[in-house]
């Protein structure tokens, strides 16, 4: 959208103001300081500052949030296991796109795509139950972060390919799928931090 660079220049002089970021019918994004009434434009996020607007626009569009009924479970699990809620949301986004009924060809199930062995390890009785699934997935992610000394990329690689595989290769396995997975989660994490939690 050619109007966007000019609009950003006009807005950049303001120290702070209401900022509305919309997605247009062709996937383009529009930034304005006033609400847009055109139904062809969907509000993506609303901020109270122009800070980092360019970074938000550069990211691949994703949902502003997962379904609201999961938010309480995400918040509670992130607090219990000392995880960034935006990271937890990012893993759910990439694993299942917030679909609690998701099932992979390998047999992983639910929002955080738990394998049966992992579910059993964390006493999950129903992998399709959002609360149980998020709770166990968060606990497992926290365990992996501890196992790999807080190294997020290794923990994500282990979540995708298994911790023994990461240890076998003494780092991120040379699997294209795992490397794509890490990039997707990191990108979604950055987007959720900015759009949902106001991180700079």
For the stretch 121-154, pLDDT in tens is 999 999 999 999 999 999 999 999 999 999 999 9
Separation of alpha carbons 109 and 105, rounded Å = 10
Query: Which residues belong to CATH 1.10.530.10 in the chain?
Result: 68-197
Q: Are 41 and 23 in contact (CB under 8 A)?
A: yes
Residue with the larger pLDDT of the pair 45 and 10: 45
Residue 87: which residues within 8 A CB-CB, separation 6 or more?
A: 78, 141, 152, 185, 189
Catalytic residues: 95
Side-chain-facing half-sphere of 132: CA atoms under 13 Å: 16
What fold characterizes domain 68-197?
A: Lysozyme (1.10.530)
Separation of alpha carbons 191 and 183, rounded Å = 12
Q: Whole-prediction pTM value?
A: 0.67
């Amino acid at each position: 959208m050619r109007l966007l660079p000019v609009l950003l220049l006009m807005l950049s002089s303001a120290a702070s103001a209401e900022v509305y970021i919309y997605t247009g019918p062709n996937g383009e994004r529009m930034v304005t300081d006033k609400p847009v009434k055109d139904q062809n434009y969907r509000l993506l996020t609303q901020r109270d500052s122009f800070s980092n607007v360019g970074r938000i626009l550069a990211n691949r569009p994703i949902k502003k949030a997962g379904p609201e009924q999961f938010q309480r479970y995400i918040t509670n699990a992130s607090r219990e296991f000392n995880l960034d809620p935006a990271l937890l949301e990012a893993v759910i986004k990439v694993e299942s796109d917030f679909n609690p009924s998701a099932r992979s060809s390998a047999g992983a199930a639910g929002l955080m795509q738990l394998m049966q062995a992992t579910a059993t390890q964390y006493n999950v009785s129903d992998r399709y139950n959002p609360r149980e699934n998020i709770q166990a997935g968060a606990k497992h992610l926290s365990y992996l972060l501890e196992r790999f000394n807080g190294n997020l990329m290794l923990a994500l690689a282990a979540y995708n390919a298994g911790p023994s595989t990461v240890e076998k290769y003494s780092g991120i396995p040379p699997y294209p799928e795992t490397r794509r997975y890490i990039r997707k989660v990191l990108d979604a994490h950055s987007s959720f931090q900015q759009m949902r939690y106001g991180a700079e």
